[in-house]
A = this chain, B = another copy of it.
Amino acid sequence: MSKKIVMALLGAGRIGSIHATTVAQQNDVELRYVVDVNERAGRQLAEKLNATFSDTNTVMADGEVDAVIIATATDTHADLIELAANSGKAIFCEKPVDLNFNKVERCLKVVAEQKVPLALGFNRRFDPNFSALQQQLKAGRIGELEMVSITSRDPSPPPLEYIKVSGGLFRDMMIHDFDMARWLLGEEPVEVFATGSCLVDPDIAVAGDIDTAMVILKTASGKLCQISNSRRASYGYDQRVEVFGSEGMLRVENETSNRLECFDSTGVIADKPLYFFLERYAQAYRQELEDFVSAIRSGDEPLVTGNDGLEALRLANAAFESYKSGIPVVIKA
């Protein structure tokens, strides 16, 4: 039996709890510490998972801690990553590293110097649906890829207070789709055109953001990708992807909680899509942590690295610039 991997959780909020519970259930992983600014929440989670409530310094100082999971507020990610890297810990960090491109670059430089693995929480790559699609695409199932279509809509907008500090729709929401696009396209986009509107809630416009957007990406070889976002889909979390190639098309339809259909005088009614990311991506959240643990053991790169975070942010920034200027933006690598 292999040596236990010792982990610490930084940030005991909703998504942090999910990650901690996942690793606590894995064999050969010990969740030793839970850290949170909210002592009550932190202690409660620690107790439930047989871990110790502690603080960041203790975690970093404990030489037996192999890895940290960072699920704190966004603006603390970069500093914690650097701290963990300098302490020689493997790092799993919720997206994004930071909303500031330069800060991300500096942070990744530290990670690179310390040669620690950094996995980023672009959870969708681990969804069994998208994962199967990507594998079949890569295996040549539809020949040469030509077009990607990504539909990504949240069931309802986040609170205005969140929107104000979110970095805006392109950096906060569509960044997941930019990562999906990069992953599927297999080459970097060289041009972004973005447009958008505020159709869902005028207060979002007042807060300086949009809630509805469409984007077209183009790669050097001429592959095209369209992305459609809305902050509000009355029928639930709309998460679909299509890839079109020289020999066919692969598409992923929404997941539902069951396969029940009702035939009545009004039609045939099936279940609507799962409500939101916690439901839709429950399995993906487990898979991404398993990938992280497996990467620590094998020494291989995690599936999603810090660089993927940087490149997705580059696209999000370019999309924002395109939206503001009204013209396409050329991506400089």
Contacts and interface: CB of A to CB of B under 8 A. Distances in A.
Contact of A224 (B128, B195, B233, B327): B195
Interface in A113-149: 128-129, 132-133, 136, 141-144, 146-147, 149
A252 interface: yes
Contacts of A251: 260-261, 263
Interface in A230-248: 230, 232-235, 238, 244, 246-248
A257 interface: yes
Contacts of A136: 260, 262
Interface in A214-271: 214, 216, 218, 222-224, 226, 228, 230, 232-235, 238, 244, 246-255, 257-271
| Identical subunits present | 4
A193 interface: yes
A146 B149 CA distance: 18
A58 interface: no
Contacts of A143: 234
23 contacts: A142-B262, A142-B264, A197-B218, A198-B222, A199-B222, A199-B246, A200-B246, A212-B222, A226-B228, A233-B249, A234-B264, A234-B265, A235-B263, A235-B268, A249-B262, A250-B263, A251-B263, A252-B259, A253-B261, A263-B272, A267-B270, A268-B272, A269-B270
A245 to B, nearest CB: 8
Contact of A218 (B195, B270, B328): B195
Interface of A: 25, 27, 48, 128-129, 132-133, 136, 141-144, 146-147, 149, 151, 153, 191, 193, 195-200, 212-214, 216, 218, 222-224, 226, 228, 230, 232-235, 238, 244, 246-255, 257-273, 326-328
A191 B266 CA distance: 35
A148 to B, nearest CB: 10
Contact of A269 (B224, B258, B269): B269
A258 to B, nearest CB: 4
A259 B267 CA distance: 12
A277 B282 CA distance: 21
